[in-house]
Amino acid sequence: MSDFVHIERPTEQHPPVNHGPPHVEQPAKPDLEFLGLHPFVRQSVIDKIYGCIIGSALGDTIGLYTEFLPKHACETIYKEGKFRLVAPITEYYSDSHRNRFEPCAWTDDTDQALLILLSHLHNHSTTDSLAKLPQDFASRLRIWIEQGLLALGRPPCGIGALVGSVVTHTDYLKDPADMATKRWIKTARHVAPNGSLMRTHPIGVICVGLPEEEAWKIAAAVGRTTHVDPRCVVACCISVGMIRGLLRGEILTEAHMNKAIERAYTWVLSQPELMNPGLDSELTEWEVKRHLDRKEFEKHVYAKTMEELKLDNSKEMGYVYKCLGSAILVLRLGMRGAGQGQVPSQSIFEDLMTNLVMEGGDSDTNGAAAGALLGAFIGNANLPPHWAGGLAHKEWLITKVSRLNIVLGIIEGDAGDEKDEAPDGGKGLMNREELEKRDSDMLYAILSRDKERKEKAEKERRKSLGKGLAGWFKK
């Protein structure tokens, strides 16, 4: 994930007005009657839920191979344009960035999405689980920034600049959205990074039985704990709304997609507190509405090719609209490839996601957002086995998605409680000494990988030199 700024700067700045923490009312009981429309509907929805969550994790994992690289470098380094997470596993291009991550594993993008999922699982038995989701997510994010994903013992890697500046503030948990608003206003209402979009997809699953507007409200409230720019909010609402619609069988064509996109855009545009974070009365109508400029919006959500999006632009790669536009385009291409009413091919996910990450830029985040949409469309059964079969922590993730299906009422059963879904991962928070040891071990692992990279490069150089000398003596 990277941060990005993109919009005409205003000449004046005004302080925000503190209106207290965002409040989400607990929605009515979910309506899952659509599951009984046909004997195969329930099983299809279950498969698509797995496809959404696991597909996003796979997009994130494969995206790390090319993250922050320009497109030409991706083509040079990964000449075959193919990736494998099972033997023979495709090796990362070894550099100081990729050496921080364990092989075949997702990044911070999926970690943060899992904070949302784990929060809902942990609080499912309470009567106000969705109402408390934004604040509980913020609390978990505050822990993650320092401690990592404790359930899996994963250290935090890839923290975006905006998220870091917002979440680490001492007053953050008093009112997360207010702190996010203050930080955003300090950038002259300028930054619109992709850090809330990359994690929002579990909300689309959680809200599968709720009205569309309720899903938007929850997506906006959770997203605004760190990202209040209206472009970030509308991106989250579009993603969540489309995932909900894909799971319910309401989005089957591009025409359905376009209507869902426009409904979310229109709704955000109609919400004063979302369009004008802090409700600054001194802003003009133009200053408020410029963030959802129609031309800028359409350029991305209706892009026809990846080339139009320029995903590897070094100054703009973290822009939320680039991530949103590429995810929407991947879903469009997936629908075209499947054909209306046809069973999707097992190659669709691999082909489209590979093409996406080979564009470079913020490819793990683009992959996470696109993988969620495409996975919700084609289902878990159509994910490539040589990706899914090698995904680190896959069995743990499958268990959590299975529990989510029970909690949502899609699968019968008693979910109960599991310790690792608590904010501290069921292990307790690490103390200063333990954190220092973790960081020391992580640094050692990074240096070891870097040493291996240099030794391998030197070995290849000598091997190439030897071939050259052998050829000379043969002449």
The DSSP secondary structure of 377-406, one letter per residue, reads HH-GGGS-HHHHTT-TTHHHHHHHHHHHHH
How much is the pTM? 0.91
- How do residues 242-279 score in pLDDT, each as one tens digit? 999 999 999 999 999 999 999 999 999 999 999 999 99
Residues comprising the chain, all counted: 475
Please, is 451 exposed, middle or buried when counting C-beta atoms within 10 Å of its C-beta (0-12, 13-18, 19+)? exposed
- Round to whole Å and give the CA distance between 231 and 313: 19
11 is in an annotated binding site: no
Q: Identify the bridge partners of residue 154 per DSSP, sorted by sequence position.
A: 149
253 is in an annotated binding site: no
364 is in an annotated binding site: yes
pLDDT above 70 covers a percentage of the chain that reads 92
In this predicted structure, the answer to whether residue 133 has a pLDDT above a threshold of 90 is yes
| Cis status, amide bond into 22, omega within 30 of 0 | no
How many Å is the Cα radius of gyration of the chain?
A: 22
SS3 at position 368: helix
Q: Tell me what the mean pLDDT of segment 102-121 comes to.
A: 97
Angle at 168 between CA 167 and CA 169, to 5 degrees: 95
Sign of CA pseudo-dihedral 444, 450, 453, 458: negative
- 437 versus 20: the higher-pLDDT residue is 437
312 is in an annotated binding site: no
Report the pLDDT value the prediction gives residue 411, as an integer from 0 to 100. 96
362 is in an annotated binding site: yes
Q: What is the DSSP letter of 279?
A: -
- How do residues 429-456 score in pLDDT, each as one tens digit? 999 999 999 999 888 888 887 888 778 7
- 238 versus 473: the higher-pLDDT residue is 238
Query: Contact 5/187 with Cβ under 8 angstroms?
Result: yes
Pick from 108, 119, 121: which is nearest to 149 by CA?
108
In this predicted structure, the answer to whether residue 90 has a pLDDT above a threshold of 70 is yes
Report the pLDDT value the prediction gives residue 468, as an integer from 0 to 100. 57
Q: Tell me what the mean pLDDT of segment 404-413 comes to.
A: 96
Pick from 256, 241, 260: which is nearest to 203 by CA?
241
- Round to whole Å and give the CA distance between 86 and 327: 25
- Round to whole Å and give the CA distance between 234 and 320: 10
Mean pLDDT of the chain: 92
Q: Tell me what the mean pLDDT of segment 213-228 comes to.
A: 98
Token pair 């536009």: residue = 325
In this predicted structure, the answer to whether residue 12 has a pLDDT above a threshold of 50 is no
SS3 at position 265: helix
In this predicted structure, the answer to whether residue 377 has a pLDDT above a threshold of 80 is yes
Q: Tell me what the mean pLDDT of segment 64-74 comes to.
A: 98
In 145-248 the beta strands, taken as DSSP E runs, fall at none
Report the pLDDT value the prediction gives residue 2, as an integer from 0 to 100. 55
In this predicted structure, the answer to whether residue 287 has a pLDDT above a threshold of 90 is yes
95 is in an annotated binding site: no
Query: Contact 31/74 with Cβ under 8 angstroms?
Result: no
Band the pLDDT of 19: cuts 50, 70, 90.
Answer: very low
Report the pLDDT value the prediction gives residue 470, as an integer from 0 to 100. 55
